[in-house]
Structure 1
Amino acid sequence: MYWPCPGRNCCMDELPRFEMNKDKIVEYYDTCDKDYRLVWHLDRCMAMHMGFWDEDTKRISEALIRENDILAQQANITPNDRVLDAGCGVGGSSIHLAKNYGCHVTGITLSGKQVESAEHFADRHGVSDKTNFQIADYTKTPFKDESFDVIWAVESVCYAQDKNDFIKEAHRLLKPGGRLIVADGFQRASPLSPKEERLLSKSYLGWEVHNLETDARFRDGIESHSFSNIREDDVTPMVMTSSRRLHLYSYLAFFVNIYGWLRGRRGRVEMGNVVAAYNQYKSLKRGIWTYKTFYAEKLG
């Protein structure tokens, strides 16, 4: 499919790999906030991740909650835990954990706008006393050693240029016996053809993700930082419905973007979001990337 370009490079004909740019990540989320509110019901669901679908899941709101609950159960979260939501977005997972599991959650994000939204949502759901949100980089946080029982990262580690930076910081922040839980996209381990590389880039660059780690390298990174009881699960079938929906939404969003661009209301960032939404399903179906969860415990 051909995507007309409303501005230079927005169609991403050239797809070099860049280093992570925090300002660009913030720009993406702050600019596309309105799209998430429209398509992913952000004001109600408070989440930007894929969600897990099973035979009992009927709506995206249920899938988003289902993912939170499955990950919380894997991490064995209890009311006594202090959790760091690394890349918390507008606070949906943090609020769900505090409200339904009774734990205290600190959410960090690069976006001040997301901090404001998260605080608003926490107050609306009555968990302001169990949550706090702040601007911070999850590879270089301001917290003391061994501050948390659980590090929670849902579709956020992909933004780190070097994923080992995240793993190293998670290890520092966890108490002995603390748990790491990650859900994210991972590149297929076998070499990609140039065509596959290009499709993968078009699937993620519009979301300001500039490299996906392979699951094997990510696991090696966890092992090298003295984690134990590592569990890796491929849950790609559980996110396929959301992936397909994003792909279908992109058709309508494309025409909305063109209309908005002509009226000076939408631009490069919004178009990049649409291009990514369109291509991510194609690359997922072809097995170029998978969606996996990782659980690990810090050695005591």
Structure 2
Amino acid sequence: MPTREELIDYYSRKESEYLGKYLLNDRAHAHVGIYDPERQPELFRSGWVDSDLGVDRLKMLMHLGQERSVSELFQLASEWLTEPEPKTLDCGAGLGGTSILLAERYGLRVDALTIVPSQGRHIQREADRLNLAGLVTARVGDVFSPDDWRPSKPYGLIMSFDAFSQMGRKETVFDILARTQRAGGVLAFSDHYVASRTSEIAAYYNKYWVSEISSLQETVSALTAAGYRIRYLRDRTDRQIPYWGLSVAYSEITTSDRSTARRLETKSFHEAMKAAHHGGDMQYYQVVASKV
């Protein structure tokens, strides 16, 4: 796993790129999107999305899918919530798109946890600008060091998007989160999984993120060991494949021969992710669990 300093350095350097790609309607989501084949059949019929759509259209389609992902998961989690408007943790908040959406749309009080100080400053600045300072609070800290961010009152809801697969040590992560959550609280997240941890795509993913991606079954076992009961598992592999095509098309337009090596590597990574999910080597699930 990378050190805390390496993570901060990496995401600090990526911040302007992420804002340029994902910021729309005051929210920047740095995770995949979910799409409906009945409403957007063209995204499912085509192979690679045509880059002739243009940057603005591609950004809008990525953004709509990302917002759908958040709303879908929150609606699933809501079926198991025992209190209205629970105190919420956005774990691995990135640039705060999820936190701001949950506050604006559902009136939740959200702690946006990120390890990157510049991301924390961006989140709080945006929350203040949107008059959400009373609802969204940026918390800068390492999930593995809960004394950095542990709340005075336990969380009723914890949400996360595409973060746990990059953290590794899921048994430790879920154990820490369980200790910040009240009994009956809900943990809801969407993430990537590998069909086999010995596959080429697993090795590629782990090298790219310096992580240790797991299978869905390993994740379920880690949740159970931490004191959670699985309430919902929903396969969204097919529904998120269009996102990778949109992202690759965006990269085709914005990446040039003068782009940094890391940006070129990101483009190749997204191409590999689309192929791996399409071929069944990777899966994408929404998971809802409650603390026993």
TM range (shorter): 0.7 to 0.9
Alignment of 1:82-97 (within 5 A): 82-97=87-102
The percentage of counterpart residues that share the same residue type is 19
The aligned residue for residue 48 of structure 1 is: 30
Task: List gaps (5 residues or longer) in structure 1.
Answer: 1-18, 261-265
Q: 1:200 to 1:227 in 2, by over 3 A?
A: closer
Q: Which residue of structure 2 lines up, in the alignment, with residue 12 of structure 1?
A: none
Decide which moves more: 56-65 or 286-295. Answer: 56-65
- Show the 5 A alignment for 1:79-158: 79-142=84-147, 143=150, 147-158=154-165
**Are the structure 2 counterparts of residues 204 and 39 from structure 1 closer, same or farther at C-alpha, using a change threshold of 3 Å?**
farther
Give the secondary structure class of the aligned counterpart of 1:292: strand
Give 1:79 deviation, angstroms.
4.6
> How far, CA to CA, are the matches of 2:26 and 2:151 in structure 1?
34
Tell me the distance in 1 between the aligned counterparts of 2:113 and 2:73.
18
- Aligned partners of 2:179 and 2:218: how far apart in 1? 20
CA contact (8 A) 1:253 1:274 kept: no
Per the alignment, residue 267 of structure 2 pairs with 274
1:27 equivalent to 2:29? Answer no
Question: If the length of structure 2 is used for normalisation, what is the TM-score?
Answer: 0.83
Q: CA deviation at 1:62?
A: 1.7
CA pair 252-23 structure 1, distance change in 2 beyond 3 A: farther
For 1:23 and 1:158, the matched residues in 2 are separated by: 19
Q: Which residue of the partner structure matches residue 225 of structure 1? A: 226
| RMSD of aligned Cα (Å) | 2.3
Of 238-247 and 213-222, the range deviating more from structure 2: 238-247
Relative distance call for 1:126 and 1:79 in structure 2 (3 A) is: farther
Query: Hey, what's the Cα distance between the residues in 1 that align with 2:241 and 2:75?
Result: 22
1:12-66: CA deviation from partner (whole Å, max 9, x where unpaired): xxxxxxx233333223322222322333336743111112111346822221211
* TM-score (ref. length: structure 1): 0.81
Q: Identify if the C-alpha distance between structure 1 residues 274 and 203 changes in structure 2 by more than 3 Å, giving closer, same or farther.
A: farther
Offset at 1:99?
1.2
Corresponding letter in the other structure for 1:122: A
Letter in 1 for 2:258: Y
CA 1:205 to 1:296, structure 2 compared with 1: closer, same or farther past 3 Å? same
Q: How do residues 44-83 of structure 1 correspond to structure 2 at under 5 angstroms?
A: 44-54=26-36, 55-56=38-39, 59-76=61-78, 79-83=84-88
Closer, same or farther in 2 for the Cα pair 1:70/1:209, shift >3 Å?
farther
SS in 2 for 1:259: coil
CA contact (8 A) 1:31 1:269 kept: no
Structure 2 CA distance for aligned equivalents of residues 248 and 201 of structure 1 = 25
Counterparts of 1:68 and 1:191, CA distance in 2:
27
Instruction: Count how many residue pairs are aligned between Structure 1 and Structure 2.
Output: 267
Write the letter of the residue equivalent to 1:293: Q
Match of 1:59, SS state, is helix
Provide the C-alpha distance between the structure 2 equivalents of 1:110 and 1:121, rounded to a whole number of angstroms.
18
2:247 equivalent to 1:246: yes
Whether the aligned pair in 2 keeps the contact of 1:200 and 1:283 (CA below 8 Å) is: no
Q: Which runs of 5+ in 2 are unaligned?
A: 41-59
Which moved further from structure 2: 226-235 or 86-95? 226-235
